[in-house]
């Protein structure tokens, strides 16, 4: 009998970019569900320490690993450290991402490339390495030796954005990267489903984190933002973390290649609510 409150007990979860925002909330949430959590950070060690502290306060376990997800050698090292410590990987949450905004006419190739490197190539490297690890460790799983209780041999949750379907002027690099994540997710899901690996993505709307502080920290722009959100509130990182955990759990075992929009209705064309 599985204790459903600890549904990730014995499972190892990597959350990239988990020193802040959505990634941090995911890492803490998985810790609370009994997982061993790999807290990946890029530059802010103190924030990563805070994530691990909160995981441990909640009774979970974890390690901190510094890695730039756009650098292959860093990601390989993160996987080495994960397997050395916990012996296996069960869930990959490829969350790390950034924005480098610019009007299109002024966007430099460097600004374009930076976002593609982190948001798209970074997710590619992370989920490829995760899938390799899932396949490598799978025989134990089939022999019933593993302590993990999951039906799939591994689960991948990719962090996309509502901007994988909503075009975004002034953020062309970001929207292109998330559109890419969406199609990468579907194609990889199609290819890996026969291995019993599930791949899905989450597309958050406006979630209150550092990435969009300029919008929610000013009363006026927050009010304007509400016009885009039928549910009339900004999202929290925990709103997203709960959905990520569901997508990585057996409760969604028959869900493959799906994008779950966590957006308070932002993708419902709110400007048409009053007859267009």
Please give the span between the terminal C-alpha atoms of the chain, in angstroms, as a whole number: 53
12 binds ligand NAD, rule: CB under 6 A: no
Among 137, 148, 189, 209, binds ligand NAD (CB under 6 A): 209
Least separation in angstroms between CB 80 and ligand NAD:
16
> CA-CA distance, 35 to 57, in Å (whole number)?
13
Least separation in angstroms between CB 232 and ligand NAD:
16
Choose the binding region for ligand NAD from 21-29, 53-61, 143-151, 191-199 (rule: CB under 6 A). 21-29
Least separation in angstroms between CB 209 and ligand NAD:
3
Among 16, 54, 133, 173, binds ligand NAD (CB under 6 A): 16
76 binds ligand NAD, rule: CB under 6 A: no
Choose the binding region for ligand NAD from 20-28, 31-39, 76-84, 221-229 (rule: CB under 6 A). 20-28
Task: Considering only residues 117 through 146, tell me which ones interact with ligand NAD, judged by CB under 6 A.
Answer: 118, 122
Angle of helix 122-142 versus helix 172-192 axis, rounded to 10: 20
The answer to whether 174 is a known catalytic residue is yes
Least separation in angstroms between CB 174 and ligand NAD:
7
201 binds ligand NAD, rule: CB under 6 A: no
Tokens 């993990």, residue located:
148
> CA-CA distance, 232 to 174, in Å (whole number)?
24
Task: Considering only residues 229 through 268, tell me which ones interact with ligand NAD, judged by CB under 6 A.
Answer: none
Q: Name the residue nearer to ligand NAD (CB basis): 91 or 159.
A: 159
159 binds ligand NAD, rule: CB under 6 A: yes
Q: Which of 38, 16, 167, 156 is nearest to 98 (CA)?
A: 16
21 binds ligand NAD, rule: CB under 6 A: yes
Task: Tell me the sheet residues that pair with 154.
Answer: 197
Tokens 């075009």, residue located:
167
Q: Of residues 29, 41, 174, 261, which has the active-site annotation?
A: 174
Task: Considering only residues 81 through 120, tell me which ones interact with ligand NAD, judged by CB under 6 A.
Answer: 95-98, 118
38 binds ligand NAD, rule: CB under 6 A: no
> CA-CA distance, 30 to 26, in Å (whole number)?
6
Least separation in angstroms between CB 45 and ligand NAD:
11
Among 78, 115, 185, 211, binds ligand NAD (CB under 6 A): 211
Q: State the catalytic residues.
A: 174
Site residues (CB under 6 A) for ligand NAD? 16-17, 19-23, 42-43, 68-70, 95-98, 118, 122, 159, 161, 204, 206-207, 209-212
């Amino acid at each position: 009998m599985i204790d459903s409150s600890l549904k990730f007990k014995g499972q190892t979860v990597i959350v990239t970019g988990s020193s802040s925002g959505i990634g941090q909330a995911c890492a803490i949430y998985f810790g609370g569900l009994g997982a061993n959590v790999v807290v990946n950070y890029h530059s802010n060690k103190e924030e990563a320490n805070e994530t691990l502290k909160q995981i441990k306060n909640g009774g979970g376990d974890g390690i901190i690993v510094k890695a730039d997800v756009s650098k292959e050698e860093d990601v390989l090292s993160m996987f080495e450290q994960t397997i050395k410590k916990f012996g296996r990987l069960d869930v990959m949450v490829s969350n790390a991402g950034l924005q480098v905004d610019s009007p299109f006419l002024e966007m430099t190739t460097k600004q374009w490339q930076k976002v593609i490197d982190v948001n798209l190539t970074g997710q590619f490297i992370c989920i490829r390495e995760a899938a390799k690890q899932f396949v490598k460790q799978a025989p134990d799983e089939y022999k019933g030796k593993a302590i993990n209780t999951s039906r799939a041999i591994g689960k991948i949750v990719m962090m996309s954005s509502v901007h994988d379907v909503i075009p975004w002027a002034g953020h062309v690099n970001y929207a292109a990267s998330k559109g890419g994540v969406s199609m990468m997710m579907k194609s990889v899901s199609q290819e890996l489903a026969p291995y019993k690996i599930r791949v899905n993505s989450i597309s958050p709307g406006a979630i209150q984190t550092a990435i969009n502080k300029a919008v929610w920290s000013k009363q006026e722009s927050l009010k304007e933002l509400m016009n885009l959100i039928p549910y009339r509130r900004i999202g929290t990182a925990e709103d997203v973390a709960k959905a990520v955990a569901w997508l990585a759990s057996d409760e969604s075992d028959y869900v493959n290649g799906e994008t779950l929009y966590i957006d308070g209705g932002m993708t419902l064309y709110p400007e048409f609510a009053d007859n267009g």
